[in-house]
Structure 1
Amino acid sequence: MKKLASIIFLLFSQTLFAQTSLERVEPAFWWAGMQNNELQLLVYGQDIANLDVSLDYPGVKLKQVIKVENPNYLFLNLELNSNVNPGTFNISFKEDDKIQHSYKYELRERESDSRERIGFNATDVMYLIAPDRFVNGNPDNDEIAGMKEKKNRNFNGGRHGGDIQGIVNSLDYISEMGFTAIWLNPVLENDMNDYSYHGYAATDFYKVDQRLGSNEEYVKLSLKAKEEGIKIIMDMIVNHCGSEHWWMNDLPTSDWINNNGKFFQTSHKRQVNVDPYVSKYDKFHNSDGWFVETMPDLNQRNELMATYLIQNTIWWIEYAHLDGIRMDTWPYPDKIFMNDWCEAVLAEYPYFNVVGEEWTVEPAIVSYWQQGKVNLDSYHCNLPSLMDFPMQEAIVEGVKNDGTKTYETLAMDFLYPSPQNLVVFLDNHDMSRIFTQLDEDFDAYKRALAYLTVLRGTPQIFYGTEILMSHKGSEDHGDIRADFPGGWKGDKINVFTGKGLTTQQKEAQNFMKNLLNWRKKKDVIHHGRTMQFAPLYDEEVYTLARYNDKDLVLLIMNNSDEEVAVKTSRYAELTKDLNAMIDVIKGQKINISAETVTIPANGFLLLEK
């Protein structure tokens, strides 16, 4: 009887192990010669933890096999020798010394200048694109068999068919307009049931959404963009994933997702990060709450999750030749982790740049996060750049009124360790378009754009701003992120050819093109010092100057409905040795030594030495 029981047990055991599977290894490959010599692999498959793991490759050591509460996961800690050679080796998964599964792992060779990659900076102007809404370059990928949401261009919140190939096809236009960087809203797989086009609910952190293209096409875009002198900035999210992410039905650990994987709403009280009197209760309800039920909140305090997210970022930088990262929802994840994440990225790429989204109009809160800031709570973050939301609000209010708000906000730059490394903008994919915010006032639009062009920092412009895209009467995000005219076959209006554009739209397009291409050559704007002149009580004139030892740019803005004669003596400390300056827009000489210069009603004068 005992012998029979043993046989039954043996057969049961063999059946159990025979049912194991190997479904995923992430990251799927890595590189030799990385600064950090440690690599952690997430391995997923049915009962994979019941198997033994081994590998044999010179310079690679399997340091640790980590088993978690879910037997369908293993985490393998590898140590890579600093002089390990690129190549492939097998990772074997065995039972009783018999190989059940084998994974051929590749260590690729790094590009020689990979570590020296320069990120975006003040010499650049970013073009923000929502990929699904820009250009449909490949109609064959509009719908993918097996993926949940299909194309529906008639629905504002649906997928419309724009893709990576469409951006590749548009690189000449983007370059000619004067843009030197592209920030793409997320391109990773979002296999959600609906509203998947925006990209902020990833269902696979290592895979481009097939309706946008493939991983290989994303790399192709990056390389071809570089040939045009254009950098690629990837939009990333480490705060949350999508509720349809592949791991959501089989989590590695009970604390992989915050609140034990159960939805509860974030408070959005981001002030908890800086509040010297904060309660644990309030901190928890901000950082551990979810944005929405379809965006599970990731627990970065779980060390395995933290490593996974850091490695994923480095993998994409190396693989896709990235030039920058825009990090979504910066203040929502664990803030200790966010600093660790920054340190890891910058240790691998010292000259890289990352901009974080801290959506508040208070400079004191935005500046809290910037690299080099000394904070009361001793927290310091290595985040190089932030989106300048305070200045965005100030520009809009400033051009609508007398410029005082713009002046006062720029004066708050003393709070930032590196104000020149902020990203400045008029609008983005989450807010009303600038032409809408300005009540479709074309003169105000031109003043705002001129100011953005001269301002310190790296300007970012939302696709369609060049042709005054607007959505008056609607705040629907689908209208804000409307299709780019000419991006679809049969469009009656075509931005690329000018077909169907109004006279005003053409003027706006040329206005921006000329400004950005002028800015591209102005070192004084990229690296020069800043001086501003406050609006006086008796006039609505605000002036921004950029200067260095060799050059000077003056932007004099008149926000009133009347022509103004501005006394040039106001600028004497900058212009005392000059007789004339050049009007950048008209190309005419302006006598700056005269008693006054005239600024047209609701206009501006942009002068260069």
Structure 2
Amino acid sequence: MKKYKSVAEVDLSEIRQSGYFPSPLAWEDQVLYFLLLDRFSDNRENAFLDNQGNKVSSGTTKPFQPEDAGNAVLTPEDTAAWREAGTRFTGGNLKGLASKIGYLARLGITAIWISPVFKQVVSQETYHGYGIQDFLEIEPRFGSKEDLIEVVKIAHQHGIYIILDIILNHSGDVYAYENGQPVYQNGQTYPVRGYRTADGSPFLPFDTLTGNADPDAGIWPAELQKAESFTQKGKITHWDDYPEFLEGDFESLKDIHHGTGGLEDFVVSDALHGLAEAYKYWIALTDIDGFRIDTVKHMELGATRFFSSCIKEFAVAIGKENFYLIGEITGGRRRAFETLELTGLDAALGIDDIPDKMEYLVKGYRNPSDYFSLFRNSELVQKDSHVWFRNKVVTLFDDHDQVRKGGNKARFCAGESGRDFLIAIVGLNLTSLGIPCLYYGTEQAFDGAGDSDRYIRETMFGGKFGAFRSKDVHFFKEDNPYFPEIARIIAVRKACIPLRRGRQYLRQISGDGETFGYPSLGGERMHSVVAWSRILNDTEILCAFNTDPQNTITAWVTVDYTLHRSGGVFRRLYASGESAEILPVEPRNGCAVLLTVPPGGFVIYG
């Protein structure tokens, strides 16, 4: 497929297809799955089910068995090799992902969020994809443009949308400063030694490269090569200080200059124009359905608005009426939703420490109101109803960097009783407000933990850095204790529109049927039923989990008295363990049902 050195060479009219896969009517109906491409599949697995559900016997990597746990860390030398492997490209690729679309479809996933696939700086091990050197090419270790097109095609055949993770804020480490890596200081610029050659040496002029320049050197497309494409102000050390957080580098990743001015009079730089055209190209070429935009907090509002407008208009023009733009906007709700409304982004990711509140609520260390009030307090964002949050927030409890945990990274299942509560937290994520997103490996109960990001980025396909401190075994098992249960919950979510679009209410509970109140943390840890309702029109769906991993808990739970009368019933739609099939409605605290939830379990009634 043709390679381009400049966006000026790209003729979108020649690339555009006759018909594109239509956008979903409502993104809140979707269940997202976020994967790091390098860590997902290398297309060499054996004894898994292919996209049609047939068993594959041609691969070389066998499925994981319990006795394989720890097989990569038997000696100090093995352990060191396993840890080192986690810092490098491990071999996951687009062909591997294409072969596992059926696996994700059977889980119930309807949208795959893929880490950046674009060409990385050759001399560096940015396996995560966030160190881009060429915005118009695919990273060769991941595959080709044709491979990405095939992934999208197969996904669409299975009713799954594809969201690409993209970067506007910065490039890879494509140039070096004169005197090492400086830090941001009072907005001063620092002298640059030059663009890096393919081997990483900073010997190229810091200016537009010649037409026959090495495509592995400097940065591409050519529109980004002028010195003024970069702010050149050193790395950020104070992440919330203005204007440092807008102008500084992300460690060695180089900050791109987007333009100047305020929201209404922003003057767009050539670099940002070039990036917008590059990302239009990927939409036209591959038929993708949305972007997750990295580090939006660190971009000017005017730059984000310009990009959103360009992409939305182009997508509408080719028939994608609801092309989705998810912005990583760290911070509080007010900042996040002001950013959404001022820039045209559709949803926010990373606000108000949702993963922390979700994880420790389910484990009994947070008040339920800490989580549920995120969605109830809509007056903070000048909205009349908290239902507005249903398609404006992407919710997840595990991710690839866990900034919130500092130097002590750990997946949910690495902690105390993590596996005991896995179905409960997945249930909370899938049935409370927001667009739910599962991090790859959750359905296999991955338990990575350590002092750096690598430990929460285990491979699904084995290789030298497999999950559970293993190597050479894969984790695409659909008969483990968790995969089928997650699939069942997603199926209930799909069948019940209130779980996707309804209002949400944390419910009062009672042990004696007389005194009701909201569950709360009274000591170090709460052992309680936590219940909430999703209501749409005249239909109420009741969900609950148990924060006690060892004991069944029975409690009276309030339901909506305007929708129910004494003698009515709720019927069981899902339960992770023993629970009643029918719950009679009784006249307590308005109306209530007597609900039993198994240890660490999750239930749905409707």
Give your verdict on TM over 0.5: yes
Q: Distance in 1 between matches of 2:482 and 2:4?
A: 52
8 Å contact from structure 1 (residues 152, 159) kept in 2: no
Q: Does 1:384 align with 2:346?
A: yes
CA distance in 2, matches of 1:311, 1:168: 27
Residue 30 of structure 1: how far off its partner (Å):
2.5
How far 1:398 sits from its partner (Å)? 1.5
Instruction: Decide whether aligned partners of structure 1 residues 459 and 192 sit closer, same or farther in structure 2, where only a CA change above 3 A counts.
Output: same
Q: Matches of 1:435 and 1:335 in 2, distance apart?
A: 34
Counting only pairs closer than 5 Å after superposition, residues 318-357 of structure 1 correspond to structure 2 as: 318-349=284-315, 350-357=321-328
Give distance in 2, aligned partners of 1:214 and 1:23.
14
- Give, in whole Å, the separation in 2 of the partners of 1:266 and 1:209: 30
Aligned to 1:285: 244
Letter in 1 for 2:507: F
Determine the C-alpha separation between the residues in 2 that align with 1:268 and 1:513: 39
Distance 2:502 2:570 in 1: 20
Contact in 1 for aligned 2:31/2:110 (Cα 8 Å)? yes
Cα pair 1:327 1:354 within 8 Å, conserved: yes
The within-5 A match list for 1:583-598 is: 583-585=573-575, 589-594=581-586, 596-598=593-595
Partner of 1:430 in structure 2? 401
Report the CA distance shift for 1:357/1:120 in structure 2 as closer, same or farther (over 3 A): farther
How far apart are residue 487 of structure 1 and its match? Answer: 7.3
Alignment match, 1:469: 446
Distance change (3 Å), C-alpha of 1:181 and 1:369: same
| 1:569-606 alpha-carbon deviations (Å, 9 max, x no partner) | 55434443732322412695222325752434644452
Q: Is the 8 A contact 1:126 1:179 kept in 2?
A: yes
AA matched with 1:321: D
Look up the match of 1:81. Answer: none
> Residue 18 of structure 2 is aligned with which of 86, 102, 111?
111
Choose which of 132, 136, 139 in structure 2 pairs with 1:206: 136
Q: Show CA shifts across 1:495-534 (max 9, x none).
A: 3246xx9xxxx21222212212332232222222222225
- How much does 1:341 deviate? 0.9
Q: Deviations over 1:20-70 (max 9, x none)?
A: xx98332542233xxxxxxxxxxxxxxxxxxxxxxxxxxxxxxxxxxxxxx
Please tell me whether the aligned partners of residues 309 and 344 of structure 2 are also in contact (alpha carbons under 8 angstroms). yes
Separation in 2 of the partners of 1:111 and 1:549? 40
CA distance in 1, matches of 2:562, 2:422: 30
Q: Does the C-alpha gap of structure 1 residues 343 and 600 become closer, same or farther in structure 2, counting only changes over 3 Å?
A: same
- CA spacing shift, 1:598–1:138, aligned 2, 3 Å: closer
Alignment deviations for residues 267-325 of structure 1 (CA, whole Å, 9 cap, x no partner): 311xxxxxxxxxxxx433111100112x1110001521121111112111121111110
Q: CA deviation at 1:119?
A: 7.9
The reply on whether 1:395 has 2:358 as its aligned counterpart is yes
Give the superposition deviation at 1:400.
Answer: 2.6
Of the three residues 199, 202, 207, the one matched with 1:251 is 207
Q: 2:167 aligns with which of 217, 222, 237?
A: 237
2:29, 2:494 within 8 Å by CA — same for their partners in 1? yes
Q: CA deviation at 1:113?
A: 4.5
Kindly indicate whether the alpha-carbon contact (under 8 Å) linking 2:528 and 2:546 is maintained by their aligned counterparts in 1. yes
CA distance in 2, matches of 1:335, 1:588: 52
Question: 2: distance between equivalents of 1:550 and 1:108?
Answer: 48
Amino acid at match of 2:421: A
Cross-structure match for 1:542: 530
Counterpart check, 1:121 vs 2:102: no
1:496 equivalent in structure 2: 476
Shifted more, 384-393 versus 449-458: the winner is: 384-393
CA distance change for structure 1 residues 414 and 447 in 2, over 3 Å: closer, same or farther? farther
Larger Rg computed on CA atoms: 1
Which residue does the alignment assign to 1:298? 256
SS in 2 for 1:242: coil
Q: Secondary structure at the match of 1:122?
A: helix
Aligned to 1:39: none
| Residue 434 (structure 1) shift | 3.8
> Aligned Cα RMSD in Å?
3.1
Amino acid at match of 2:37: P
Q: Residue 248 of structure 2 aligns to which amino acid in structure 1?
A: G
Equivalent of 2:275 in 298, 309, 333: 309
Aligned partner of residue 458 in structure 2, secondary structure: coil
Separation of aligned partners in 2, 1:152 and 1:400: 30
In structure 1, give the amino acid aligned to 2:372: Y
Deviation at 1:479, TM superposition (A): 1.4
1:468 is displaced (CA, Å) by: 1.0
The residue correspondences of 1:554-573 to structure 2 (distance < 5 A) are: 554-560=542-548, 563-573=552-562
Is the Cα–Cα contact under 8 Å of residues 266 and 291 in structure 1 kept in the other structure? no
Deviates more, 1:119-128 or 1:242-251: 242-251
Distance 2:290 2:242 in 1: 29
Q: Distance in 1 between matches of 2:411 and 2:25?
A: 27
Query: Does the CA contact (< 8 Å) of 2:327 and 2:349 recur in 1?
Result: yes
Evaluate the alpha carbon distance shift between residue 108 and residue 122 of structure 1 in structure 2; reply closer, same or farther with a 3 A threshold.
same
- Contact conserved, 2:362 with 2:421, CA < 8 A, in 1? yes
Give the direction of change, closer, same or farther, for the CA distance of 1:119–1:263 in structure 2 (3 Å limit). Answer: farther
Partners of 2:164 and 2:472 lie apart in 1 by: 31
| Pair 1:411–1:258, CA change in 2 (3 A) | same
Distance 1:592 1:606, change over 3 A: farther
Tell me how far apart the structure 2 counterparts of residues 231 and 247 of structure 1 sit (CA, whole Å).
Answer: 37
CA distance in structure 1 between the partners assigned to 2:410 and 2:161 by the alignment = 24
Task: Quote the Cα distance in structure 1 between the aligned partners of 2:236 and 2:546.
Answer: 45
Query: TM-score scaled by structure 2?
Result: 0.71
**RCO higher in structure (CA 8 A, sep ≥6):** 2
Match of 1:420 among 381, 385, 390: 390
Residue in structure 1 matched with residue 458 of structure 2 by the alignment: 482
5+ residue gaps in structure 2? 46-80, 176-193, 197-203, 209-225, 260-267, 316-320, 403-408, 509-517, 587-591
Q: Distance in 2 between matches of 1:392 and 1:573?
A: 33
TM-score, normalisation: structure 1: 0.71
Taking a change above 3 Å as real, the CA distance of residues 117 and 30 of structure 1, as seen in their structure-2 partners, is: farther
The answer as to whether partners of 2:507 and 2:558 remain within 8 angstroms in 1 is no
Match of 1:526 in 2: 500
Confirm or deny: 8 A CA contact 1:367 1:415 kept in the other structure.
Answer: no
CA contact (8 A) 1:403 1:541 kept: no
Q: 1:366 and 2:336 equivalent?
A: yes
Write the distance in 1 (CA, Å) between the matches of 2:96 and 2:133: 23
Is this contact kept in 2: 1:119–1:353, CA < 8 A? no
Q: Which residue of 2 aligns with 1:409?
A: 374
What CA distance in whole angstroms lies between the structure 2 residues aligned with 1:559 and 1:152? 35
- Structure 1: gaps of 5 or more residues: 1-21, 33-106, 140-150, 270-281, 372-379
Kept in 2, the 8 Å contact 1:128–1:461? The answer is: yes
In structure 2, relative to structure 1, the CA distance for the partners of 1:256 and 1:559 (3 Å cut) is same
- What residue number does 1:451 align with? 428
Return the letter of the residue paired with 2:116.
P
2:11 alignment counterpart: 30
CA contact 1:181–1:230 (8 Å) conserved in 2: yes
Aligned residues: 471
